[in-house]
Amino acid sequence: MKNNTSRYLAGPYVIWIVGFIVIPLLTIVYYGFTDRNNAFTLNNIAQILVWENYRPLYRAMILSAVCTAICFLLAFPLTMILRSLKVGRSSLIVFIFILPMWMNSLLRVLAWQTLLERKGVINGILTAMHLPEQHLINTTAAVLIGMVYDFLPFMILPLFNALMKIDDNTINAAYDLGASYWQTLTKIILPLSVPGIVSGVTMVFVPALTTFAISNMLGGGKIYLIGNVIEQEFMQDSDWNEGSGLSLVLMVFVIVSMLIVNHFEDKNDMRKGGVI
Amino acid sequence: MSRNLLELQNITKSYDGQLILDDLTLDIHENSFVTFLGPSGCGKTTTLRIIGGFEKPDKGRVFFDGKDITDLPANKRQLNTVFQKYALFPHMSIEDNIAFGLRIKNKTDAYIKDKIKYALKLVNLDGFEKRSIDSLSGGQQQRIAIARAIVNEPRLLLLDEPLGALDLKLRQEMQYELIRLKNELGITFIYVTHDQEEALTMSDYVVVMNQGYIQQAGSPEQIYNEPENAFVADFIGDSNIVPGIMVEDYHVRIFGADFKCVDAGFGTNKPVDVVIRPEDLEIIDDDDPRAILHGEMTHIIFKGEIYEMECTTPDGFEWLIHSTELHEPGKKVGLYVKPSNIQVMNKPESEDEEALGVEE
């Protein structure tokens, strides 16, 4: 009886999974392995070996890795400070750091566009101070700033949760046994925050790797990432086959990255689990 | 008397304007088992944290072996702590937990291996090296926490309510374990608890605390048999605390009845508080010439080894009595107390002292 109810309740979700996850995925796989005449081909996949496609993927990997590293380096000290201030999970200060997550992400990138533009806010201030105008927009740095700004909250939240879970006395015990601050940080606090780090890295790295909006808006078409390539295949060249093939390759990169990251979590033998 | 290992001098500490410790001074002898006993919020854990180096006192000094360690951080102190709820490192095996302090001190692998073996044997968990923390019961985790502390050969071990999370039977077992450990290791233990029975069972020296003050410090026998004030009498075991008049030396009057006692030096006709332990009240026949008080049995609860009963005297006071003999409610009885079982205490004089008193 109870079992039957659960089965009926699961129904809509099964429809969801099949209709909105499995079928689209299979469609992409189908397009990815066929040409315009619906004949099987590996050409679409092999397109990644072409310099024009390979380079944006390589660039996206580097940029998203750097973005993830910067987010971690910014978020970890911040969350350590929040922890030591003993602010609660629902405190105003945490809320403020998380607040940008609730705004449209394109809007946030647009804000940076306004700041960085040739006649934008920053150059306006520089001019007013009789300093030379800087070339800010349409650079790799601009794209990186946009990524970090956009994805930082996704690093802060899981890290903060993980750090708040660590008992004060666990840290005190390390000091009590003679450990210095650095030893306590590396041997106790960092290993215990691995679930949070894994979640944070996943939630920053994956969207950064696949983004095309940020590179479009802050890179002005000059900073070409794999996301832009795929977008172009679909939107401008209307080549669904090649676009799907490259999407599959990107997916493999994401899966491999996640396997590597999750491997760290397993190695630390944490059973507490993170967000992802 | 052996020499002092630890001296606390005029320690004062407050949080957010609330005074937790008020001018606390205490000496702790080498090789003793000292217990800080008191209700929650009495300042006992704060005192322990100040000794451990996790809190700094606002005023006052801490001396360890004659040296001022007030400003020495926790990781430089020659003492170790067993924390409430164990605080083991959940990402490490038992072996790595115990080895943590030794690896920090760069001891050799062979030395560390020997030490782990020795410590696990000491806490009766031989062969547990490779197990994970999660696979242990609460009592076993407690033992590992103790092992992790003692491998560092501290001269002083601080224990913060270490048995609080264990069930009664295990707690009693661990009490004997701790006494044995202390004797085998020959080091000083400072133990924090709110459980008076635990304190009396284990310690050589009990420090009863309330609201940031030491109420009384002494051997368990002294604390139990000669409580200095109503708080101590009430907190340590059950007791009947009644107002009385010290008519003259060795003579106290309670509810108009005259008792002989062994206390002297209070002056004449002075109001005092009198403590009579429930097991010291003897129930005798109503017409027995020894009877000092007369009353009627009102309540009875069977507690296992004893009956807990109440006898109401005409003045309306309900005397708590422990006895192995059953006296049914409604029965008229006489009550007798041996002079040596009557403990006379000064009434609190100032308002400040009043504040330390019993809170119902």
- pLDDT, mean of residues B88-114: 95
Contact B100 A177 (CB under 8 A): yes
pLDDT of residue A206: 93
Helix, strand, coil percent values for chain A (each to nearest 5): 75, 0, 20
Residues of B in contact with A176 (CB under 8 A): 52-53, 74-75, 80-81, 149
Q: How many CB atoms lie within 10 A of CB B171?
A: 18
Identity of the residue in A167, A269, A271 whose CB atom sits nearest the CB atom of B87: A167
Q: Indicate the residue of B80, B84, B134 with minimum beta-carbon distance to A271.
A: B134
**Contacts of residue A97, Cβ cutoff 8 Å, sequence gap at least 6:** A78, A153, A156
Do B101 and A188 make contact, defined as CB atoms within 8 angstroms? Answer: no
Degrees to nearest 5, angle at CA B304 with B300 and B310: 20
% of residues, chain A, pLDDT over 90: 63
Question: Are the beta carbons of A176 and B100 separated by less than 8 Å?
Answer: no
Token pair, residue B38, equals 């008191």
Confidence at residue A85, expressed as pLDDT on a 0 to 100 scale: 85
Output the CA–CA distances (angstroms, integers) from residue B329 to A255, B51, B301, in the order listed.
78, 51, 11
Is pLDDT of A89 > 90? Answer: no
Distance CA A244, CA A158 (A): 32
ipTM rounded to 2 decimals = 0.81
Find, among B2, B6, B17, B11, the residue nearest to B56 by Cα: B11
* Interchain contact, A188 vs B89, CB within 8 Å: yes
A199-208, B90-99, B341-350 — which is least confidently predicted?
B341-350
Q: Answer yes or no: do B104 and A268 touch at CB < 8 A.
A: no
Q: Would the pLDDT of A274 be above 80? A: no
Instruction: Identify the band that residue B358 occupies on the pLDDT scale cut at 50, 70 and 90.
Output: very low
For residue B219, give both structure tokens.
Answer: 């051997």
Best mutation target among B79, B97, B100, B190 (most A Cβ atoms within 10 Å) is B100
For range B172-190, the mean pLDDT: 91
Interface test with B, best of A169, A176, A192 (most B CBs within 10 A): A176
Q: Which residues of B touch A192 (CB under 8 A)?
A: 89-91
With contact defined as beta carbons under 8 Å apart, do B21 and B13 qualify? yes
Nearest neighbour of B105 by CB, restricted to A176, A178, A188: A178
What's the token pair of residue B51? 């000794």
- B35, B191 contact by CB (below 8 A): yes
Measured between CA atoms, how close is A95 to chain B, in angstroms?
25
CB-nearest partner of A172 from B83, B88, B91: B83
- Which residues in chain A have Cβ-Cβ distances shorter than 8 Å to B100? 174, 177, 179, 187
Closest CA to A90 of A192, A193, A160, A170: A160
- Name the band, by pLDDT with cuts 50, 70 and 90, for residue A268: low
Mean pLDDT confidence for B123-138: 90
Q: Which amino acid appears at position A179 of this protein?
A: A
Which one of B45, B85, B89, B105 makes the best mutation probe of the A interface by having the most chain A beta carbons within 10 Å? B89
Judged against a pLDDT cut of 60, whether residue B351 lies above it is answered with: no
Between A51-84 and A194-210, two packed helices, what is the crossing angle to 10 degrees?
A: 150
Residue A223 has pLDDT above 50, yes or no: yes
pLDDT value at A2 more than 70: no
For position A1, what pLDDT does the model report? 54
Contacts of B76 in chain A (CB under 8 A): 178
Q: Which pLDDT value is given to residue B32?
A: 94
B152, containing H or E segment: none
Interchain CB distance below 8 Å, B104 and A183: yes
Min distance B152 CA to chain A CA atoms (Å): 8
End-to-end Cα, chain B, rounded Å: 38
Report the gap between the CA of B107 and the closest CA in chain A (Å).
Answer: 13
pLDDT by residue (tens digit) across B34-79?
A: 999 999 889 999 999 999 999 999 999 999 999 999 999 999 999 9
The model's pTM: 0.81
Q: What is the DSSP letter of B2?
A: P
Nearest-CA neighbor of B199 among B210, B211, B190? B190
- Average the pLDDT over A60-78 and give the result: 96
3-class SS of residue A37: coil
Helix (H, G, I), strand (E, B) or coil at B317: coil
pLDDT the model gives residue A93: 82
What domains appear along chain B, each with residue ranges and CATH number?
A: 4-225 (3.40.50.300), 238-355 (2.40.50.140)
Is the Cβ pair B54, A188 closer than 8 Å?
Answer: no
Q: What is the pLDDT of residues B275-305, one digit of tens each?
A: 999 999 999 999 999 999 999 999 899 988 8
Is the distance from CB of B80 to CB of B158 less than 8 angstroms? yes
User: With 60 as the cut, is the pLDDT of residue A271 above it?
Assistant: no
What domains appear along chain A, each with residue ranges and CATH number?
50-267 (1.10.3720.10)
- Helices within chain B (DSSP H only): 44-52, 94-104, 109-122, 138-150, 168-185, 196-202, 220-225, 230-235, 351-355
Contact A173 B89 (CB under 8 A): yes
Among A91-95, A148-152, B196-200, which stretch is predicted with the lowest mean pLDDT?
A91-95
Min distance A206 CA to chain B CA atoms (Å): 27
Instruction: List pLDDT tens digits, range B209-225.
Output: 999 999 999 999 999 98
Return d(Cα A78, Cα B184) in angstroms, integer. 47
pLDDT value at A90 more than 90: no
Is A178 close to B90, i.e. CB distance below 8 A? no
Position with higher pLDDT, A220 vs A184: A184
- Distance between CA atoms of residues B43 and B194, nearest Å: 11
pLDDT value at residue A270: 45
Q: Is the pLDDT of residue B356 over 80?
A: no
pLDDT at residue A276 greater than cutoff 50: no
- With 60 as the cut, is the pLDDT of residue B193 above it? yes
